[in-house]
Each structure stands twice: as C-alpha cells, then as structure tokens.
A and B are shown apart, each in its own frame.
Chain A
Amino acid sequence: MSAQTELEILSPGAFASIQDGGRHGFRRIGVPWAGALDRRLMRIANALAGNAEDAPVIECFDGGLHVAASGGAVKIAVAGDAVVEVDGTDGRRQLAPWRSVTLADGEQLRIRKMGGGRIAMVAVAGLALPAVMGSASTYVRAGLGGVDGRALAAGTRLALADADPWGSDRVLTQPPEADASPIRLVAGPQDDHFDAAALEALVRGDYRVTAEADRMGIRLEGAQLAHAGAAEIVSDATVPGSIQVPGAGQPIVLLADAQTAGGYPKIATVITADLGRLAALRPGSTLRFARVTAAEGARIARAAEAETRALIAAIRPLPADGIDLVALYTGNLVDGVVHALGTDYRPLH
C-alpha cells in the first residue's frame, strides 16, 4: 500500500492558478479562453517535467509559491526567470530554474522571487485535473476549471497520477533571453474611431504598467489617445490583445481572462507572439509599442513558434551523477549550461 502522491500548496505566493492551453469554442456564450498567459513558458515547463506540452501547469505571479511533495516523490519543473529554493532532506539549497528536479516525500520547493518578469510556470509530472468544458484552466470569474474554479490556496492538495519521478531530470540548456524590444501591435479594429494622431501617439512614447494588471488585462498610463467621436461603440467581440480605450483616453490591453465583448473602441491589437512578454511586465515598468501589419504579425508568430520548438528540442537529460559534459559539448551548448545551472548547481539525489 502506498499513499496517494500529492503536491501540497504551502503558499500560493502573490497569485497562482492552474492553467493549460485554454478553453476554446465558447466565446460565443461569453466564456474567454483563459489558459496560460505565456504559452511558451508553459510548454517548456511541461517538456521539462515530461508532460504533454498543453498539460495543466501552475502559473504563478510575482514569486512566493511554496509547495511540498507528500505521500511520495514528485518531479517538478520551473520555467521562468525565478529564484528557486529547495528544502531537502539534506538542507536548503538554491536551484537554477529551467530544469526539473525530483522532490522526495516531504521535500519542499519555493519560488523565492522573480529575477525578471513576474510569471513563472511550474509543471508537475502526472498533474491531471478534470477538464471543465474541455480545459482544466482556472477561470475564477465563473468558477470554472482548476481546483473548484478557484485560484490556488494554502492547503490545496493536487493529486498526481502515477509517474516515475525518479527518471532522469531535464534541463533547458539555453533559456530564452529577456526581450525588452517594443510590443508589436496591429492597428484596428476601431482605429477609425480615434483622432488621426492617436495611433501615432500610441507607438511613439513610453507607457507605464499600472497596478491594475492581472489575468484579465493591463491598464496602462501614458500619452492620451483622443477619440474622434463617442468613446463608446455598440459592443463587439474582444480578442486577447485587444487595446481598448475608455473615455479617459488611457489604453487597457485585454488578456486571457478578459470579457469576450466590450463597448469601448479598440484602437489596436497586440500580436499573439508578444502577449506572454506583455503579461509578464511588472506594475511600474514601462514599455513601447511598435506597429506591424496583420501579415507581419503572422510571420512573427511562425518565427516565434520555430524558436519555441528549437528551445524545447534543446532540452537535455540531466544525469543524476552530474553534468554529461560530452553531450553538452557535442551540442555546443556550454554557455547555455553555465547560465542555466549557475554555480549553485548540485544534484539533489
């Protein structure tokens, strides 16, 4: 008899929820996609944990997530620029992100803080949650998905399906580099509801991320965007990335959990490839926008997908007895290894 293996949430940190590839097909009845805000991070985390790329992960904001293996060993992987700490049977140590690690029963992992950005994705081998309307993604507003439709809370126990947690751990040898280049947008659908100078103003100056930034959207502060007529339209569909501008003239970018329709004109739309980067911006930070055409946006999406696939293809097993230097030299990935593992690297078991 073995006890059920679980991952216990000791603390969710600032905010953590279960997300996957999203809930599609129900926007027509007002249900947004929800799903991971940064799909690339989700896919990398799952690949590191040996899961399907779209499997449910723990998406956490601003660090603080603290979990423990309970009832058995748990393989867990962190994607994102996170400072990770493990409380193991033989003491506390820092661990590089972008790798998986196997926690023995009772061992704990904590995201102490974020090095950059605010989102980390934590994948857990064998994490399976019931799909609600086709997805395990949490959509708090309507209580759908995740654990009882709610954000993760201290004391939540996530049951894990049988997986072999003692299989070789994996490492992403060349993590994606921080990208501070402008967030790209496509004009429209309602750019004609604005003063001719508004689109120019949107891409010319800096915008600051306000404290109102969550899974629904990000309220920005910067150059005023003047409407050409009324600041309201008869409601039409929003998309993830819609930049709506209420009467005050300050833009709000809608994200995965946003309302599916809205009555404010939408001056432009952030391209899909840049949504994850945008969602990860911290309140108080600044950004710039750059304009592209829809066709350029699609080309960027394809290039980003190729990049993601290359990153995932570069994931290597991490031998339990240390670094397989031969394989890494053959892969010409030594610089990445140093970055990924840091000087604090030490195999856990």
Chain B
Amino acid sequence: MSYRILDAGDAALTIEFGSVIDPALLAAVNALDAAILRLQQAGALPGVIETMPTFRSLTVFFDPLATDRDTVLAALQPLIAAAEHGAPADGRHWRLPVCYEGEAAPDLAEVAQTLGIGEDEVVALHSGTEYLVYMLGFLPGFPFMGDLPERLRLPRRAQPRVRVPAGSVAIATGLTAIYPWESPGGWHLLGRCPVPLFDARRAAPSLLAAGDRVRFAPVSAEQCRAIEAGLRNGELDPMQWLEAAPTPAENAA
C-alpha cells in the first residue's frame, strides 16, 4: 500500500492511504491512529494535539508553536510503514433498534419504487446486513457505515432536505448513517433509531467508534416510542444494545 503526505495548512498534515472506501484502507488508518495514540499517551509526541481518522486518511493536528511538520513526520514515518500492513482491529458489535414505519420512514416508499422492489424487501436488506463504522463526523457522533447491499445503492436525493430529524436512519451511495442531530441532509430516510448516538455527559460521548460493527433490529412505532421513553427516564441504558466487545488482549494482539 502506498501513501501520500498532504499539507493541511501550518498546523496539520494528512497521511492519505487511498482515495476510495475500502476496509483495507480503514485497517491501515486505524492501525496508524492506534499507534499514534500509544505514542501520545507515552508523552513521545510533544505538540501533537489530536488525530482525525477517516475512511482513507488520517489527519494529525499539531501546535506549530510547540513542534513542526518535519519533527512530527519524522516521528510518524516508522508508524506509517507499520500501519500499511495493519490488520483490521476487531471492534464492538452493536444491534440497534430501528423503526422503519410511517413518519419515521418518509422515503421508504420512494426508495422501494425507485429500486423496483417492495418496501419489505428494502427493510429486510437494510436490517439484514452487518455494517462497518468507517468513521465519525461530520457532526458529533455521526457514523458513516457501510457497505450497503448492492441492491440498495442510490445517489443522494436531487433536492436535499433543509431539516432531517435527529435519529433518522439514512442511506446514500454505498453507505448508511444515523443523524444524531437535526441537520440539513441529502440522504434517503428509511427509519428512525431511538438510541441517542451522542451524549456529552457520558465518559465516551459517542456511542459508536470507528471500526465497530452495527446491525439493525426492526421495531414497531410503538416499541420505538417505548424505547425512547425508557431511555429518557433512565430505565434503559444505551449499552444494552452492545452485543459483543473484544477483550483488550484481542485488540492488542
């Protein structure tokens, strides 16, 4: 695997492993990210503020008053070389409830019609696939997940919505996502997930992390409301939808 170093101003640089969405690129990105975090925690990367892993690249933010580009790059070179052969880390496995009915699924009928399949089939395909969380962003806790089954792939909506409600489960191109916040958006809305993906009061504010695996469990509108109520009054804990987590030893291996 080859890589490129790209300048992102005077206070950041990007290590780019490729230009497409590909789990092999993600494995390299996440391996490099983990290696940098370890060095940072050991105090061996002074001036490095944080990293931002994406589908295919890792951006390193540094303080130009405390270090410089060449020093950062020199420290990163051996990590980059090792990360190119990084094996995918085993993330946590989630099974999140999704209501694919009524108001929660404003685009389901149109998507089914465009694809020439039944609404039930759209739901079966979407909820019958395990997705990889490629990255988080552009909004807090927003997971870009893939890959969608080939039969569900559509370009974005011609006319983006001004307001996509928080909790919307959406698809576009080869990806699926959950909007943690109300936001403008051009993806097709298939359902609603009642579990909040972001909560600043939690020790880990984002429920999902890059490398996690997610499946969706269809629930009725009534069940969806009951889950929302249970989460609001504290009877339910979002961690109950975590199915399996690797042991630290498994990920260190």
A174 within 8 A of B: no
Contact (Cβ within 8 A) A28 B52: yes
In whole angstroms, how far apart are the Cα atoms of A305 and B63 in the complex? 12
Q: Which residue, of A261, A295, A296, has the highest number of chain B Cβ atoms within 10 A?
A: A261
B140 touches A29 (CB 8 A): yes
Complex Cα gap A141–B198 (Å): 12
Residue among A26, A29, A234 making CB contact with B55, cutoff 8 Å: A234
Which residues of B are at the interface with A, using a C-beta cutoff of 8 A?
A: 6-14, 16, 19-21, 33, 49-59, 61, 64-65, 68-69, 135-142, 144, 180-181, 183, 198, 200, 205-206, 209-210
User: B11, A272: Cβ atoms under 8 Å?
Assistant: yes
Cβ of A141 and Cβ of B181 under 8 Å apart?
yes
Q: Which residue of B lies closest to A31 (CB)?
A: B140
Question: Assuming A186-B7, A236-B55, A272-B11, is B140 touching A24 (CB within 8 A)?
Answer: no
- Answer whether residue A259 sits at the interface, using C-beta atoms and an 8 A cutoff: yes
Candidates A133, A236, A259; contact of B54 at CB < 8 Å: A236
User: Are B7 and A294 touching (Cβ within 8 A)?
Assistant: yes
Write the A310-331 contact mask toward B (1 if CB under 8 angstroms, else 0): 0000000000000000000000
Complex interface: stretch among A203-211, A237-245, A338-346: A237-245
CB neighbours of A266 from chain B (8 A): 8
Question: Which residues on the A side are within 8 Å of B51 (C-beta)?
Answer: 27-28
Q: Which of A141, A185, A298 contacts B64 (CB 8 A)?
A: A298
Bound form: Cα–Cα A247–B21 in Å: 21
Whether B135 pairs with A186 at a CB distance below 8 angstroms is: no
The answer on a CB contact under 8 Å between B8 and A297 is no
Interface residues on A, range: 35 or more
**A188-B6, A269-B7, A295-B68 in contact; A261/B135 too (CB < 8 A)?**
yes
Say whether, besides A261-B137, A305-B65, A269 and B50 are in contact (CB < 8 Å): no
Say yes or no: is A252 at the interface (Cβ < 8 Å to chain B): no
Asked if A235 is at the interface (CB within 8 A of a chain B CB), the reply is yes
With contacts A189-B6, A237-B59, A272-B11 taken as known, whether A141 is within 8 angstroms of B52 at the C-beta atoms is no
For residue A167, CB closer than 8 A to chain B, the reply is no
User: Is the CB–CB distance between B10 and A301 below 8 Å?
Assistant: yes
Shortest CB distance A255–B (Å): 13
- Please provide the chain A residues from 251 to 289 with a CB less than 8 Å away from any CB of chain B in the complex: 259-262, 266, 269-273
- Given A233-B19, A234-B55, decide whether A271 and B10 contact each other with a Cβ distance below 8 A: yes
CB neighbours (8 Å) of B68 from chain A are 295, 298
Q: Say yes or no: A235 contacts B10, CB within 8 Å.
A: no
